[in-house]
Structure 1
Amino acid sequence: MHYGFVIPIGDVQTIAELAQLGEEAGWDGMFYWDGICIESMAEMYDPWIVMAAMAMRTKSVRLGAIITPLSRRRPWKVARETVTLDHLSQGRLVLPIGLGAIDDKGFGKVGEVTDRKGRAELLDESLDIITGLWSAQPFSYQGKHYHLEEMTFRPGPVQQPRIPIWVVGAWPRAKSINRAMRYDGLLPTKMEQDGPVTPEDIRAMCEHIISQRKQTTPFDIIWEGETPGDDTEQAATIVRPWAEAGATWWLESRWSASNIEEIRTRIQQGPPHLA
């Protein structure tokens, strides 16, 4: 099991400092998030610039933004941003992606596609384009939404065969899960009417992926939650069912945190290792 921490609040300098503290405390990944319209939430900053600051203060932890909704970002711009950050971090970037929240005002208030089907089409085409441009070979593309004349992006990423891509997948929706299986990791979710994700769901997803995935490259399953930093036994009790079901990453995600000291304290207490 690997352990990451999602930093939900703080100014850019503080977030970079917290990333360094996380590395020193033994976390395997330090993550930010990607948002546009945040009327009811704390201040936030552009994730690519924030992650660049995090990269400059760390040496070993994985970096990423939970999550990037690709349908509202130009895929060729994302291709350039991710390769640049992968080089800056010396091969530590991961790209977690998904459709984004359907009621996210960062779509509706600025005229972006709001329906799930349209976002899914844009997501699939974006992934084709990004991975094609990462190849550093001549690449062209003709899709329903995007059309690229032949171009070559150089340099390619440090990580080969590509920067790892984690994809949100809704269980048991076959199309959604199959999309994630084509890449490097699954961020599991379920449709509201299907209820919350359980460890039994994670186990079923693992069995499905093992039986159906054709690629032989490593594949991660990522789950998030909260654990107490001052009670290692209780923290292990919370994480263990997910690890035993097949999750390979635990992300400590304190989205309701009200102040930066709460975040700093939990980071410094270190990850909830299983004994």
Structure 2
Amino acid sequence: MQHALTLPPYGELADPLALVEIAVAAEQAGWDAVFLWDHVLRQPEDPQETADPWVAMAAIASATERVRIGPMVTPITRRRPIKLAREATTLDHLSRGRLTLGLGLGVDTTRELSAFGEIVDPRLRGQRLDEGVELLCAFWSGEEVEFHGEHFVADRVLVLPRPFQQPRIPLWFAARGDARKPVRRAARYDGLYPIEFDERGLAEMLDVVREVRGSLDGFDVIARPSTPSEYERFGEIGVTWAVTGPLPGEPGVLELASTAPLDVFRSGT
């Protein structure tokens, strides 16, 4: 199993230099990845200072050599696919192939969609996600793209260079609760990032993945174990990445990053 820190770039962590310091410490301590939350607004009780995760990831990529990086997760519905394709490709080259792109529908719990007139309806957001990822993959192909969808258009465009990673940048997809369509979407790509689940729910999700793919071979499954025993059981179920990290405003992040990941998960801290 591999191990990742997920960092909320808010409050004191809105300072990109602090994020870089933490990522460097995590790499030295043996962590396999440093992922950043991708939100534009926070709850009123949370710290309101917010860093752009994509700019911060570029700084982290420049200061590290081994850890993977990525946004967990980016909602395509509030992005333009061509802009996202360019950013992801540039970051993939800057990091020499260390980017994993987390994608999802997005949420409006902090009004980060409705406050800016973005689409809130989950059905439409799902359609935009499906179209958007299809367009992303087409852009990364290095071939001319002619795409006229219900939500996005690309009229005879060639997007170069191709990503550093081939055949493309790995794509992980969020799935929340009992919804199965997001799990099937994830199964068509590279990884599943479950949110708000229990152990039984996770096992049921992985049954869906096996149904779509035939097996879990070559597929990443991400989970956030809260106890040492849960960490062990998740590994037995098929989890390939264990993630942990603070909530916005929680202290002790540098100390966490400086601790060997197995010590963190086996102690339940």
Give the TM-score, by structure 2 length: 0.90
User: Corresponding residue for 2:165?
Assistant: 159
Equivalent-residue separation in structure 2 for 1:18 and 1:62 (angstroms): 14
User: Corresponding residue for 1:27?
Assistant: 31
Aligned residues: 259
- Which deviates more from structure 2 when the two are superposed, residues 104-113 or residues 81-90? 104-113
Q: Contact 1:70–1:122 at 8 Å: present in 2 too?
A: yes
RMSD of equivalent CA atoms: 2.0
Equivalent-residue separation in structure 2 for 1:106 and 1:269 (angstroms): 34
User: Corresponding residue for 1:193?
Assistant: none
Change (3 A) 1:49 1:264: same
Matching residue's letter, 1:204: E
Matching residue's letter, 2:75: P
Q: Contact 1:184–1:218 at 8 Å: present in 2 too?
A: yes
Equivalent-residue separation in structure 1 for 2:216 and 2:175 (angstroms): 19
Give the TM-score, by structure 1 length: 0.88
Equivalent-residue separation in structure 2 for 1:215 and 1:149 (angstroms): 37
Equivalent-residue separation in structure 1 for 2:111 and 2:179 (angstroms): 25
User: Corresponding residue for 1:231?
Assistant: none
The alignment partner of 2:20 has SS state of helix
Change (3 A) 1:73 1:34: same
Q: Contact 1:97–1:166 at 8 Å: present in 2 too?
A: yes
The alignment partner of 1:269 has SS state of coil
User: Corresponding residue for 2:242?
Assistant: 250
User: Corresponding residue for 1:264?
Assistant: 254
Equivalent-residue separation in structure 2 for 1:243 and 1:271 (angstroms): 15
User: Corresponding residue for 2:69?
Assistant: 63
* 1:205 Cα deviation after fit: 2.4
Q: Contact 1:98–1:167 at 8 Å: present in 2 too?
A: yes
- Which deviates more from structure 2 when the two are superposed, residues 128-137 or residues 173-182? 173-182
Matching residue's letter, 1:212: V
User: Corresponding residue for 1:133?
Assistant: 139
* 1:67 Cα deviation after fit: 1.0
Equivalent-residue separation in structure 2 for 1:173 and 1:265 (angstroms): 36
Q: How does 1:202-221 map to 2 (within 5 A)?
A: 202-213=202-213, 218-221=218-221
Q: Which runs of 4+ in 1 moved over 4 A?
A: 214-217
* 1:173 Cα deviation after fit: 3.2
Q: How does 1:110-129 map to 2 (within 5 A)?
A: 110-129=116-135
Change (3 A) 1:131 1:257: same
User: Corresponding residue for 1:149?
Assistant: 155
| Same amino acid, percent of matched pairs | 34
Q: How does 1:168-179 map to 2 (within 5 A)?
A: 168-170=174-176, 172-179=178-185
Equivalent-residue separation in structure 2 for 1:211 and 1:101 (angstroms): 28
Change (3 A) 1:217 1:199: closer
Q: Contact 1:202–1:246 at 8 Å: present in 2 too?
A: no
Report Cα offsets for 1:74-120 as digits up to 9, x if no partner: 01100000000000000000001111123231111110001111111
Q: Contact 2:108–2:114 at 8 Å: present in 1 too?
A: no
Report Cα offsets for 1:26-62 as digits up to 9, x if no partner: 1000111111122522222111100000001110111
* 1:145 Cα deviation after fit: 1.0
Q: Contact 2:223–2:242 at 8 Å: present in 1 too?
A: yes
Q: Contact 1:202–1:247 at 8 Å: present in 2 too?
A: no
Q: How does 1:74-93 map to 2 (within 5 A)?
A: 74-93=80-99
Equivalent-residue separation in structure 1 for 2:207 and 2:178 (angstroms): 12
Matching residue's letter, 1:96: G
Equivalent-residue separation in structure 1 for 2:130 and 2:211 (angstroms): 23
* 1:181 Cα deviation after fit: 0.9
* 1:216 Cα deviation after fit: 8.9
Q: Contact 1:171–1:177 at 8 Å: present in 2 too?
A: no
Query: Unpaired runs of 5+ in structure 2?
Result: none
User: Corresponding residue for 2:8?
Assistant: 8
